[in-house]
């Protein structure tokens, strides 16, 4: 990778991090309601995993979803407006933090149901395969999802049908306040996935280079029709599970241990080492992202909620058929 590409990767990681900082500020001011889960600390996982994708590829993941949307090229103004519940948000303010989505850019969300994204990834992969399209599906989920029944069904079907899926397990070592050793009979997520007959690797998810290299192989394999790959990305979230979690279940030492492995300074150091980049170059990127995010907040502040009459737009259900007085099929 050349310097320009590495600076682009750094910018994506910085954007994901700085966006969450602004979200926390706005949440504390009471401008954002509902559940809100931040991705702070896990940036290298998503930036690395998505690095080799093409625009036609599908991406989906959990409720910790702001970063996926931004990295895939989502507009930070529409992201912030969505969090404010305003009509010019990426889902017209109807989704909120956990349900970002943009079908136009093949980003299929944002799921609040733990493990719920996995069967949808199977559906997307099966559709691409049957239609003869060369699309790849990248599906993100947490360590907690691996204890769900539907997750195992999805992994089984992915391999059975040799679907073009890259399973990315963000093993941040906690499901809310419950640690992996307290919840999973097998602590290694890649060992746990081995039963489903596909290559499964554990990588340092705090390292962009490791993530992009493992995902390069996985994406190429999926695109070549050779079936799914499982990636366990060992990582850490620096904040609590959601904005309402003070994270008292973790020791200061543990947090400090992972702070020492922060993916952003690590990436800066690598670029500096290989290309003699100056501090000024990083500061310029950070200032540009800062301006973009100030504009995103200002844009969200100017917005309005969708009028209540438009609440029932965008539903799959045919209003007449759904009415209790309709004579439709039972
Ligand atoms: C099916 C289901 N069960 C329980 C919950 C409640 N819940 C919300 S987040 C969460 C923890 C999930 O942890 P993990 O998959 O590791 O993701 P992380 O939050 O660490 O990114 C739980 C149990 C839910 N949303 N869905
Ligand atoms: Mg977790």
Distance CA 50, CA 59 (A): 8
If pLDDT is split at 50, 70 and 90, which confidence band does 329 have? very low
The pLDDT of residue 229 is above 60: yes
The pLDDT of residue 139 is above 90: yes
Within the chain, strands assigned E span: 58-62, 107-111, 137-142, 165-171, 174-175, 178-179, 200-204, 229-234
For residue 184, what are its two tokens?
Answer: 């999973």
Question: Which atom belonging to ligand 1 lies closest to the Cα atom of 116?
Answer: 1
| In a domain? residue 329 | no
The pLDDT of residue 20 is above 80: yes
Distance CA 119, CA 117 (A): 6
Task: Establish whether residue 144 lines the binding site of ligand 1, counting it when its CB lies within 6 angstroms of any ligand atom.
Answer: yes
| In a domain? residue 107 | yes
| In a domain? residue 230 | yes
* Residue 300: CATH number of its domain: 3.40.50.970
Give the total number of structural domains in the chain: 1
| In a domain? residue 327 | no
Task: Establish whether residue 143 lines the binding site of ligand 1, counting it when its CB lies within 6 angstroms of any ligand atom.
Answer: yes
| In a domain? residue 218 | yes
What is the span of the domain harbouring residue 203? 3-322
For residue 301, what are its two tokens?
Answer: 């502040």
Task: Establish whether residue 150 lines the binding site of ligand 1, counting it when its CB lies within 6 angstroms of any ligand atom.
Answer: no
Closest among 274, 260, 142, 264 to 208, alpha carbons compared: 264
The Å distance, Cα 241 to ligand 1 centre, comes to 9
| In a domain? residue 330 | no
Question: Could you report the per-residue pLDDT of 32-62, keeping only the tens digit for each?
Answer: 999 999 999 999 999 999 999 999 999 999 9
Question: Could you report the per-residue pLDDT of 183-211, keeping only the tens digit for each?
Answer: 999 999 999 999 999 999 999 999 999 99
| In a domain? residue 207 | yes
Element (H, E) at 223: helix 208-223
Question: 3-28 vs 208-223: helix axis angle to the nearest 10?
Answer: 110
- Rounded to 10 degrees, the C-alpha dihedral 109/165/72/57 comes to -110
Residue whose entry in the numeric block shows the structure tokens 């100056």: 278
| In a domain? residue 328 | no
């Amino acid at each position: 990778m050349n310097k320009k590409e590495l600076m682009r990767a750094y910018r994506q990681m910085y954007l994901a991090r700085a966006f969450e900082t602004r979200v926390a500020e706005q949440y504390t001011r009471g401008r954002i309601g509902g559940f809100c889960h931040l991705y702070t600390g896990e940036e290298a996982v998503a930036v690395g995993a998505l690095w080799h994708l093409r625009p036609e590829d599908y991406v989906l993941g959990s409720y910790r979803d702001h970063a996926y949307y931004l990295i895939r090229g989502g507009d930070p103004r529409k992201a912030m407006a969505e969090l404010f519940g305003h009509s010019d948000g990426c889902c017209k303010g109807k989704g909120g933090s956990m349900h970002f989505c943009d079908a136009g850019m093949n980003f299929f969300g944002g799921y609040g149901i733990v493990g719920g994204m996995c069967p949808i990834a199977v559906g997307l992969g099966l559709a691409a395969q049957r239609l003869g399209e060369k699309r790849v599906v990248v599906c993100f989920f947490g360590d907690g999802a691996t204890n769900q029944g539907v997750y195992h069904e999805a992994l089984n079907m992915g391999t059975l049908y040799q679907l073009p899926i890259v399973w990315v397990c963000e093993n941040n070592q906690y499901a809310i306040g419950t640690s992996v050793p307290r919840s999973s009979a097998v602590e290694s997520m890649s060992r746990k996935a081995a039963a489903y007959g596909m290559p499964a690797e554990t990588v340092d998810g705090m390292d962009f280079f490791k993530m992009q290299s493992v995902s390069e192989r996985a994406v190429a394999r999926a695109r070549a029709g050779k079936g799914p790959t499982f990636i366990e990305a060992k990582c850490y979230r620096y904040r609590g599970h959601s904005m309402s979690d003070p994270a008292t279940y973790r020791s200061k030492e543990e947090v400090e241990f992972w702070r020492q492995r922060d993916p952003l300074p690590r990436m800066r150091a690598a670029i500096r080492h290989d290309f003699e980049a100056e501090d000024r170059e990083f500061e310029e990127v950070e200032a540009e992202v800062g301006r973009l995010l100030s504009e995103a907040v200002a844009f969200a502040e100017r917005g309005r909620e969708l009028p209540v009459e438009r609440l029932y737009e965008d539903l799959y259900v045919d209003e007449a058929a759904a009415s209790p007085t309709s004579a439709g099929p039972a």
